Structure 1
Amino acid sequence: MHPRNRYSKGLALEKLAQVDAKLAKHLTFRHGSLQLDFQDETAVRALTAALLAHDFGVHCTLPPDHLCPALPNRLNYIHWIEDVLHASHITDVQGLDIGTGSIAIYACLACAMHPAWTMVGTDIDPSAVASARATIESSPSLAQRITLVETTPHAPLFPRGKFAFCMCNPPFYASPADRQASASAKQEVRRKCTGHATELYTPGGELRFVQRMMDESMQESNRARIVWFSSMLGKLSSLHAAVAHLRCAKITNYAVTEFMQGTTKRWAIAWSFHGARLPDTLVRSEALAKLAPRSTERTTLISANGIAAALRECATLPKEHVDVTVLGEEHVALGLYSACWTRGARRKRKRKEVLAQRADPVLQVELRAQHGKLTIRWLYGMDAVLFESLSKHLFDYLANYSRE
C-alpha cells in the first residue's frame, strides 16, 4: 500500500460506527473488536459510503447494480499519480478519468484531496453518468470542479482539453465467459460482486482497451495536450503485453508500478511524449525489473570535490548554452540548450562557428555527490543518446581528474 494511503494502518471501524448508524448495524463484535463481513455486499457498500462521507466529504448513494469501489486501492492509484506529477514539476492540474463510473470515484477523491485540481470524467453508460452527477451535485465544491461527459463506445477516448494526466480502470473481461474462466473472477462471484455490463466487459478485455488508449495517445493532437497517460490493470499478463506494445511503438518514457491491498494485486502503467523523466525510485522496482523502463541514473566513483571538478568542466562550455543551479552542498542541476559538450561542438567553437541552441533545454540533469559516488540523474529531455553522451563526458573527465 502507498505510504500516504490513509488506510495503510487499517480502517477505524469503531470511530465510524459512532457517527454512522447505517454502517453500525452491519458491524459485530468479535475477537475483541468490531468486525465487518466483507462477503456481505450490502455491508461493504455501507462501509464505502461511510468512508467517503466522513473521510472525504463525498456523500453518495451507491447504485445496487453497479460496482462498489474499494477505496484503499483507488487511493493507491491516485497517490502514484500525485508522485508522477510532483516529479514532473506539474502544479496546474486538470485530470481526466476515462470510465468514471456511477459515483465518479477517482474524480471525487482527487478533487476532495486537492482543492486546486479539476477533473473531467467520461463514461459510456448513461445511468452511471446520471448517478455520478447526483453525487457531484450534492457537494457544491465538487460540482464546480468536476465535469462529466457522456460518450459512446466508438467515440475518441480523449475529449477536448488539456490534461496533466489521464487515468483509467478499464473493465477486466472480454465477456461473461472470460470472467467465469478467470480465477479472480470466481473469487468475485463468491463475493456476489455486482456490476453493470459496461463496468465488467469490453471487447478484447482490459488489454485491448489499454492498447487502444496507447494507439490514440500517439495521435499528434493527443500527445501534445496530455502530459501523462495512465491506466490500472488487473492482470500481470496484461501489463507485460502493454509494455511490449509501448516498446514496439518506441515509446521509452513510461513507468510501471504494483499496488498491493491485502492479498489483492493491481498494476499500473503510465507513459508520456513530454520531456519530464521520472526517478528510478518511482518507475522501477525489483518485482517488475524486466518491465521497467531504462534507468534515468548513472553513477561513478569519485574522489573528493567531485561536484567542484564537474563544475569546472562545465565552466569550459559556452555560458549561454548552460544553466547551473546550486541545489545544496554537493548537489547541482544543469540545463543545457545544445549538445555543447560533444567533440563536434568543440570543433565548431574552435572554428569560431556559432552553435545552434534552442529556447528550451535539450537536456536537464542533476548531479549529486554522496559517499564517494557521483550520480547523474536525467530530469528532462527527449533524447536518451544525449543523456548517455553527457554522462560519459563528465565521467571520463572525472576519471582523468582523479588520476592527476
Structure 2
Amino acid sequence: MSAQPLLHPRNIHQGRYDFTALIKVLPALKGFILNNPSGEPTIDFSDNNAVFTLNQALLACYYNVRLWQLPPGYLCPPVPGRADYVHYVADLLAAGFAGVVPLGKQIALLDVGTGANVIYPIIASQSYGWQVCGTETDPVAVKSAKVIVASNSGLRANVSIVQQYDNAMFSGVIMPERRFHLTMCNPPFFASQAEAEAASSRKWANLGKATQGHQRNFAGQQHELWCNGGELAFISQMITESQLFKTQVCWFTTLVSQQKHLAVLQKLLRSVGVAQTQIIEMRQGQKVSRILAWSFLTAVQQQGWQVSPDLS
C-alpha cells in the first residue's frame, strides 16, 4: 500500500507533534499527554479540553499567538489542516508572481466566516505577512476574534475583523475602492443537525470511542456546521455573489467536502463566465478535502495586479 500523501511542503506541521517544544511554550499541555500503544506521546483527541490546549500550544509555538481563547462550544479547528488550505491558496498567487509566493502587506486576503477562532487570519498573517480581513455574522464570534487580534501584537497590524450582515458573502465588505488577491471560506458542510450528528458519530467511531451524544471533539456552533441546503447551497450563493466583484478579486476559493458537489458547482461557474477554475485536493491522513478556486480574470490580467493596503 502506498504511503498517504503528506501535508503541503511548506506546512510546518509535518510528522508527529513535537510535544517537548509544545510543552515548553505551554506547560499546561503536559497534563493531557498520554502514550499511544507504541509508547509515543499523544493526546486523547476525543477530549475537548485536550484538543483546545493542543491548539493553544501550536499557535503559541509556531505562530506567536500567546492568548487564544474561545467562547464555550465554539469551533476549535485542527491547525495542521487549516494551514494546508492557506499554503495551497498561496500557490495560486505564486503563478502570477514568477512562481514565487508573494510576501508582505501588499497581499490582501478575505476570510469569509472567520469564526471565533480566527485561525485562517492567524496562519496567513504569521506565515506570509499578508493583510487579512476576517468577516463573521455571529456577534459572539466577532467579539472573540477581535479579542484574540487585540491581545496579540503580531496580529494587530495585519488582521482586521468585520461584522457581516444580511447573510451576504462579500457585499458590504468588498467596497468599490477595495481589492483582494484571495478569498477563503470554510463553509458549513451539513444541511441539517442530523447530518452533522451522523458525521460526529462516525468520527467518534474512528477514534475508537462509543457515541458521545451530541458532543464533538472540535465543538462547533450550528451556523459553523450546518445551514439550509448545506455546502452546495452556501457555495452556490457565494459563486453567484462573486460576479459582483469580478474585477476586485484575483482568486475566490472555498473548501468543498463532498466530491459529488463539484460537478454542479463547476457547471454554475461556467454559467457565470469565469475565466479560470481549479480544484485542489488536500489529504490529511484518511481525510480528503478539496479547494474550489475560480477567477473572472485571465492569467495575463492577474499579473502585476495591485491591491489597496487599507483593510481598516
- 2-structure distance, mates of 1:147, 1:195: 22
- 1-structure distance, mates of 2:166, 2:228: 10
Partner of 2:187: 170
More divergent stretch after superposition (63-72 vs 155-164): 155-164
Provide closer, same or farther for how the CA distance between residues 200 and 120 of structure 1 changes in structure 2, counting only shifts above 3 A: same
Residue 237 in structure 1 maps to residue 235 in structure 2:
no
- 2-structure distance, mates of 1:107, 1:19: 21
Aligned length: 276
Contact 2:275–2:298 under 8 Å retained in 1 = no
Partner of 2:207: none
Amino acid at match of 1:99: G
TM-aligned CA deviation for residue 75 of structure 1: 0.9
4+ aligned runs moved over 6 Å, structure 1: none
> 1:4-403 maps to which residues of 2 (within 5 A)?
4-30=10-36, 31-59=38-66, 60-89=68-97, 91=102, 92-115=106-129, 117-158=130-171, 159=173, 160=175, 161-180=178-197, 182=198, 184-188=199-203, 190=211, 192-193=215-216, 194-219=219-244, 222-276=245-299
Deviations 1:198-236 (A, max 9, x none): 1112221111111111111112xx001111100011211
Amino acid at match of 2:112: I
TM-score, normalized by length of structure 1? 0.64
**SS of aligned partner of 1:100:** coil
Contact 2:185–2:253 under 8 Å retained in 1 = yes
Contact 1:18–1:24 under 8 Å retained in 2 = no
TM-aligned CA deviation for residue 177 of structure 1: 2.6
**SS of aligned partner of 2:14:** coil
**Larger-Rg structure:** 1
Provide closer, same or farther for how the CA distance between residues 185 and 246 of structure 1 changes in structure 2, counting only shifts above 3 A: farther
Amino acid at match of 1:187: R
TM-score, normalized by length of structure 2? 0.82
**SS of aligned partner of 2:299:** coil
Contact 2:65–2:154 under 8 Å retained in 1 = no
Provide closer, same or farther for how the CA distance between residues 171 and 154 of structure 1 changes in structure 2, counting only shifts above 3 A: same
TM-aligned CA deviation for residue 98 of structure 1: 0.2
TM-aligned CA deviation for residue 252 of structure 1: 4.4
- 2-structure distance, mates of 1:45, 1:236: 29
Contact 1:107–1:146 under 8 Å retained in 2 = yes
TM-aligned CA deviation for residue 156 of structure 1: 4.8
Q: Which structure has the higher relative contact order (CA within 8 Å, separation 6+)?
A: 2
TM-aligned CA deviation for residue 157 of structure 1: 2.6
- 2-structure distance, mates of 1:26, 1:178: 30
Contact 1:246–1:252 under 8 Å retained in 2 = no
- 1-structure distance, mates of 2:163, 2:200: 28
Contact 1:14–1:34 under 8 Å retained in 2 = no
Deviations 1:365-387 (A, max 9, x none): xxxxxxxxxxxxxx99xxxxxxx
- 2-structure distance, mates of 1:38, 1:153: 36
TM-aligned CA deviation for residue 239 of structure 1: 2.4
Contact 2:278–2:292 under 8 Å retained in 1 = yes
CA RMSD of aligned residues (A): 2.2
> Identity over aligned residues, as a percent?
32
